[in-house]
């Protein structure tokens, strides 16, 4: 089985998730700028979630780039990841419309944490197929960034009941950590391969 359709389907789902989130920003009734004011927390939530989904797409893109084969386990781990990411618009809307209240902040973190756990499962399922000497194994290494992210999510979930600001700071920090694109894979590859569908090296 090849990665082609896995990528097409994942791209489709990610593209839809990232786009339907904006539907939570309901068109206001007034025609003045003041009418937009209640939408500011919704917009901020949208921006954060957009960045998160961009990061997932980006890393998924990088990972699949060094993957040659997929197994049934990979397909299902990928679906599990997409399931948790599909809940992002819901928690984003809940968080934005309630001005970052404790419960929505905590749930936002839980969904992000579960997505991160699913991503880790996806990496493991892929490594099982690719083997310990594969490009992917070398690229992932100890996965410090992944582990740190999960820790920050847990802190953010716990902090949400004391301070929404602290909780939000945790989630923003994770986003910033990953905004720097995953150079690990680029480093291992050394060069940017030419545009050549089907080739990897």
Binding to its own copies in span 48-107, by CB under 8 A? 50, 54, 57-58, 61-62, 64-65, 67-72, 75-76, 79, 82-83, 86-87, 89-90, 93-94, 97-98, 101-104, 107
Q: How far apart are CA 91 and CA 93, in angstroms?
A: 5
Which residues contact residue 139 at a Cβ distance below 8 angstroms, ignoring those fewer than 6 apart?
66, 182, 184, 185, 187, 188
Give the contact letters, 14-53, x = binds to its own copies (CB under 8 A), - = no.
Answer: xxxxxxx-xxxx-xx--xxx-xx----------x--x---
**Residue 9 or residue 127: which is nearer to its own copies going by CB?**
9
Minimum gap (Å) between residue 67 Cβ and its own copies: 7
Supply the DSSP symbol for 32: S
**Residue 142 or residue 180: which is nearer to its own copies going by CB?**
180
Q: Does 173 bind its own copies (CB under 8 A)?
A: no
SS3 content of the chain, % helix, strand, coil (to 5): 75, 0, 25
Minimum gap (Å) between residue 129 Cβ and its own copies: 8
119 CB-side CA count, 13 A = 27
């Amino acid at each position: 089985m090849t990665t082609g359709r896995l990528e097409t389907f994942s791209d489709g789902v990610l593209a839809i998730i990232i786009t339907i989130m904006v539907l939570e920003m309901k068109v206001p009734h007034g025609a003045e700028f003041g009418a937009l004011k209640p939408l500011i927390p919704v917009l901020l939530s949208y921006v954060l979630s957009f960045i998160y989904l961009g990061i997932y797409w980006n890393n998924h893109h990088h990972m699949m780039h060094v993957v040659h084969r997929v197994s049934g386990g990979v397909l299902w781990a990928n679906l599990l990841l997409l399931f948790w990411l599909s809940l992002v618009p819901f928690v984003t809307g809940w968080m934005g419309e309630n001005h970052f209240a404790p419960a929505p902040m905590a749930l936002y973190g839980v969904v992000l944490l579960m997505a991160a756990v699913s991503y880790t499962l996806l990496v493991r399922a892929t490594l099982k197929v690719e083997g310990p000497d594969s490009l992917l194994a070398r690229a992932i290494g100890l996965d410090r960034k992944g582990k740190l992210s999960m820790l920050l999510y847990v802190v953010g979930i716990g902090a949400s009941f004391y301070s929404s600001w602290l909780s939000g700071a945790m989630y923003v920090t994770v986003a910033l950590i990953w905004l720097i694109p995953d150079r690990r894979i680029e480093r291992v590859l050394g060069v940017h391969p030419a545009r050549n569908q089907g080739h990897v090296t």
